[in-house]
Structure 1
Amino acid sequence: MAQATGLPGYLAHHDGDLVAVAVRDLEPGPVEGGYLRGPENVTIELLEPVPLGHKLALTDIAEGQDVIEYGHRVGIATADIPKGGYVHVHNVRSARWQNSVA
């Protein structure tokens, strides 16, 4: 399904973030978004639906890799996540109470 044109589909906070937040419900296919700090616009080929407020991968994220958002480590990938994949509790665990990757 085609995405609405002219409206951003996601927002990333910093250049270097590995994930971004959907600013509306997103369907698979090309979706354009932007950064608060960093490149103006980037188009990602979304692989699966991502609901409003949930995260999508801006790059491939390997299992065990830190998940970076807001320029900070916010989670640890529990599975490989492809660029354009849905990032949620099924493939990421919180890094909030951990000092290092287990």
Structure 2
Amino acid sequence: MSRAFRIHPDDNVATLLEDAAAVVTVVGGTDLVLREPIALGHKVALADIAEGAAVVKFGIPIGIASSAIRVGDWVHLHNCASRFDARSGSFDGVTGAAKDMAYD
């Protein structure tokens, strides 16, 4: 079974320690059913996060949910925007590349 790590007790996301497709074990916690496959190093929601609510990692807000996020969802650029970088909401959700710049 794949594993995920919750860094701080106040976090509402955990980081995948390996690719996972169905269920992850949150280290020191419980098993969590994924709503979609999530890759190594990406985040999974540990709780429902309302649109506009803080996404918390390291015990601090790292972004704002740009849409409602359900427990077990992949948390990434498609549903989380930076509070510090207005462009973050326009990054490609798969590659992370800025959509407003051409890469040759």
The question of a shared fold, defined as TM-score above 0.5 by the shorter chain, is answered with: yes
Of the three residues 51, 55, 61, the one matched with 2:49 is: 61
**1:49 counterpart letter in structure 2:** P
Q: CA deviation at 1:41?
A: 2.0
Of the three residues 6, 9, 16, the one matched with 2:3 is: 9
Q: Which moved more, 1:88-97 or 1:64-73?
A: 88-97
Taking structure 2 as the reference length, what is the TM-score of the superposition?
0.76
Instruction: State the distance in 1 between where 2:8 and 2:31 align.
Output: 16
Over the matched positions of the two proteins, sequence identity in percent amounts to 37
Matched, 1:31 2:19: no
- Give the structure 2 partner of residue 21 of structure 1: 15
- Give the structure 1 partner of residue 82 of structure 2: 94
Q: CA deviation at 1:60?
A: 0.3
Find runs of 4+ consecutive structure 1 residues off by over 4 angstroms.
Answer: none
- Give the structure 2 partner of residue 72 of structure 1: 60
Q: How many residues align?
A: 86
Q: CA deviation at 1:96?
A: 3.2
Higher normalized helix content (fraction of residues): 2
Unaligned runs of 5+ in 2: 87-104
Give the structure with higher Rg (CA). 2
Specify which structure has the bigger relative contact order, considering alpha-carbon pairs within 8 angstroms and separated by 6 or more residues: 1
